[in-house]
């Protein structure tokens, strides 16, 4: 998974205060590094996916995901909000940990495998707690990489 989650795609503390802005902020870090991505088109894809049902799965977690035409590889971004953001979560609680997954249009298998792995990792309450309590960017990278190796 770490091949999809580049260090520059990790936001230590999100500035966003609502669902649309969280998605836009996470997409912006990807678009900044991946010049071929149209952030507005990408945002539309993610907002359309959210209309089908919130990707806020509960326990302070959201895994927004979508498939995009023209994307060469699967990309993952991570963002954290210590204060929590209303995301229409299944449990009605604010979301603190966001893993945004963007996949090429024709990559159903890889997309589903990545979603499943992220879900497995996030079932671990200690992992979630460690992500919330990490002090610096490097700690977030290390915690995610260690969990990636375990799963």
Domain boundaries, given as residue ranges, for the chain: 7-150
Q: Are strands 56-58 and 61-62 parallel, antiparallel or unpaired?
A: antiparallel
Q: Please give the pLDDT value at position 132.
A: 97
Closest CA to 132 of 84, 82, 58, 60: 82
pLDDT tens digits for range 19-42: 999 999 999 999 988 877 899 999
Q: Which residue among 65, 96, 111, 137 is the active-site one?
A: 65
Total H helices, total E strands in the chain = 5, 6
Q: Which residue has the tokens 């700690």?
A: 139
pLDDT attached to residue 71: 86
CA distances to 65, 68, 69, 70, 76 from 98, in Å: 10, 19, 23, 24, 10
Residue 108 has pLDDT above 80, yes or no: no
Question: CATH second-level architecture of 7-150?
Answer: 3-Layer(aba) Sandwich (3.40)
Reply yes or no on whether 111 is catalytic: no
Tens of pLDDT along 62-78?
999 999 888 888 999 99
Global confidence as pTM? 0.95
């Amino acid at each position: 998974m770490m091949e999809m989650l580049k260090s520059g795609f990790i936001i230590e503390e999100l500035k966003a205060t609502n669902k649309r802005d969280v998605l836009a902020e996470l997409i912006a870090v990807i678009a900044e590094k991946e010049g071929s991505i149209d952030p507005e088109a990408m945002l539309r894809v993610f907002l359309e996916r959210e209309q089908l049902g919130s990707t806020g799965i509960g326990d302070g977690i959201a895994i927004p995901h979508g498939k995009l035409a023209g994307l060469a590889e699967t990309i993952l971004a991570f963002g954290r909000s210590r204060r929590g953001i209303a995301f229409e979560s299944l449990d009605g609680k604010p979301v603190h940990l966001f893993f945004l997954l963007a996949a090429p249009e024709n990559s159903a298998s890889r997309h589903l495998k990545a979603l499943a792995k992220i879900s497995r990792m996030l079932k671990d309450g200690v992992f979630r707690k460690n992500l919330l309590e990490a002090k610096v960017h490097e700690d977030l990278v290390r915690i995610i990489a260690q969990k990636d190796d375990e799963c």
